[in-house]
Amino acid sequence: MEIGAPQVKIFLIFLNEGRRRPVDTQTRHALKHNALADSAQSGLEWLQENRNSVLLFTAVLVAVLVVGIGGIISYSNRVEAAQQAFGSAMQTYLTPVADASTPAPKGVQTYPSIAARAQAAQAQFAQVANQYGWLDSGKNAAYFLGLTEIQLGQAAQAQADLQKVASSSDHSLAALAQMALASLDGQSGRMADAISIYQNLAAHPTVTVPAGEAKLALAALEEKSNPQQAKQIYAELKDKDKDTAAGQIAAQKLAKLN
């Protein structure tokens, strides 16, 4: 039996009507329920088939989480311990030195001399630097260790320890170490080395050592050997940085030299 155009048209109309006719709520719920049931059943079957793999993955995941959390807690504890140790060393480093003319208040700890205080702080800084050298507190302790060595007249050791800090990736701390090295070079008569360090610091300022501070140190070094150069540096600072502390200090220094 051939299907004529009218029958085809009626069939298409019927088909389109069937597509447009919405599925009733009960039917939708039944379909959704069947889909969820099939999915759950498939999931259970997969778990049964891969039970050993799932248990192994879960165990590994739990182990990784335990190790990770333990590592975080351990790191936090070490950071806190390092901070406390460095704080204790700094407290020693900043303890007042006894003044015979002005006795310290009762209960206030003092040291009889700068050398005695530096020696006490040196031991503490050395311990923090050696034990926590990879943490910020350990790096800071290494810098102050070099300062105590300068105060104790241990120039060679101070030079070696400060050089390590000066070459570190922490630019702010490295700049402080370079300033200390330049001062040590100046005291030891290595003027060319000291001048070179100060000039480099002035050309590459940091938060801890601004350009003005490096220039002031350079001018102070030049005062005895090259007073004209010192005057020129002070004059430039006075004019260009007149609103800063460095510019005001330069103006005072310049007035004394003239």
CA gap 25, 81 in Å, rounded: 66
Read off the tokens for 34. Answer: 């069947």
Handedness of CA 63, 64, 68, 69 (dihedral sign): negative
CA gap 148, 123 in Å, rounded: 10
The pLDDT assigned to 87 comes to 95
The pLDDT assigned to 66 comes to 64
CATH value of 169-258 in 1.20.120, 1.25.40, 1.10.3120, 1.10.10: 1.25.40
The pLDDT assigned to 257 comes to 85
The pLDDT assigned to 41 comes to 54
Query: Any bridge partners for residue 99, and if so which?
Result: 102
170: alpha, beta or left, given left = phi > 0 and alpha = psi -120 to 50? beta
- pLDDT, averaged per 10 consecutive residues of the chain (258 residues), comes to 46 46 49 50 55 59 64 77 94 89 78 94 96 93 97 96 94 96 94 96 96 95 92 92 90 88
pTM of structure: 0.71
The domain locations on the chain are 56-100+111-161, 169-258
